[in-house]
Structure 1
Amino acid sequence: MPGPIIVGVDGSPTARRAAEKARDLALKLQAPLHVVSAHTENEISHIKSGSDEWIVTSADNAHRIADGEARKLRTPDAEIVAAAAHGKPSEALISYAERTGAQMIVVGNRRMRGMARMLGSVANSVSHNATCDVYIANTSGS
């Protein structure tokens, strides 16, 4: 069985376009798709309402984003997993890919043009540091 295809999401429309392309690739390659959202903090919040108390972490929020995107991508033939990964987005995706034996990471081309590219992008960092294949999806159009 081939390793999974990893796609990073943050709830943005451009990330969703990259995730849709990743799902299509996963279906064609008959590989599982892991939808991953990164979180940089290990924040823990305590929320109280009457006698009830909930503990919410930044990892929970990241997983909620990944799960929401994964649900939107589901098709009968797709094997889709939602996950949260700790770290800056590029580092979190690379680390997650290495831990899962991923065959490919899919990222969008956001911030790869104009002045924003000088500041760096997830796609640039992933493409230079990943130990697996990287697919940079054109997410600037519809």
Structure 2
Amino acid sequence: MSGTIVVGVDGSGTAMKAAESARDLAVALGASLHVVSAFDEDHVEVHGNGSDQLVMNGADVAEHLVQTAAKSLGRGLTVTSSTVPGKPAAVLVEEAARMDARIIVVGNRRMRGIGRVLGSIANSVAHNAPCDVYIANTYDAE
């Protein structure tokens, strides 16, 4: 199999564990990996204090996340990345359609207990994906 596998990152340990599963799957299947991060356009982070402040908007933070993840995942593998404003589940589905992806990899975080009732990214992606969805076990990541 060739094609593209899409995975999202958000800076959490569970998302990185899902990304590592996506990398392993891409290597095993001879596919490329596309790392995506969704962001809120209104989000701003301020680091430091006084005159030594660094202000980053949501796009900057997302770009840092995908670049860091792509660098750590990309050994011996074709890895691309993108940042897209919007909700994580919708962004994953949109990017998978845009990339004509074969598989979206998501973690199973929030698929138990109250998160299962209220919904999860994995659940939303599984119901709306234009391709196969692989749900990686990420419960022991954080």
TM-score range, shorter chain: 0.7 to 0.9
Percent identity reads 52
DSSP 3-state at the match of 1:59: helix
Matched residue, 1:71? 71
Given residue 7 of structure 1, which amino acid in structure 2 is its aligned partner? V
Residue 3 of structure 1 deviates from its aligned partner by: 2.5
Which whole-Å CA distance do the structure 2 matches of 1:61 and 1:131 have between them? 27
Gaps of at least 5 residues in structure 1 are: 46-53
Q: What TM-score results when the alignment is normalised by the length of structure 2?
A: 0.85
Distance in 1 (CA, whole Å) between partners of 2:68 and 2:139 is 22
What is the Cα deviation at residue 44 of structure 1?
7.9
Which residue of structure 2 lines up, in the alignment, with residue 97 of structure 1?
A: 96
Give the SS at the match of 1:63: helix
Structure 2 unaligned segments of length 5 or more: list them.
46-53
Moved more, 123-132 or 2-11: 2-11
- Report the TM-score when normalising by structure 1: 0.85
Does the Cα contact within 8 Å between 1:91 and 1:126 map onto a contact in 2?
yes
Contact 1:86 1:92 in 2 (8 A): yes
C-alpha distance in structure 1 between counterparts of 2:114 and 2:102, whole Å:
31
Aligned residues between the structures: 133
The RMSD of aligned alpha carbons is 2.1
Separation of aligned partners in 1, 2:28 and 2:125: 23
Residue in structure 2 matched with residue 139 of structure 1 by the alignment: 138
Distance in 2 separating the partners of 1:44 and 1:137: 30
* Structure 1 outlier segments of 4+, above 6 Å: none
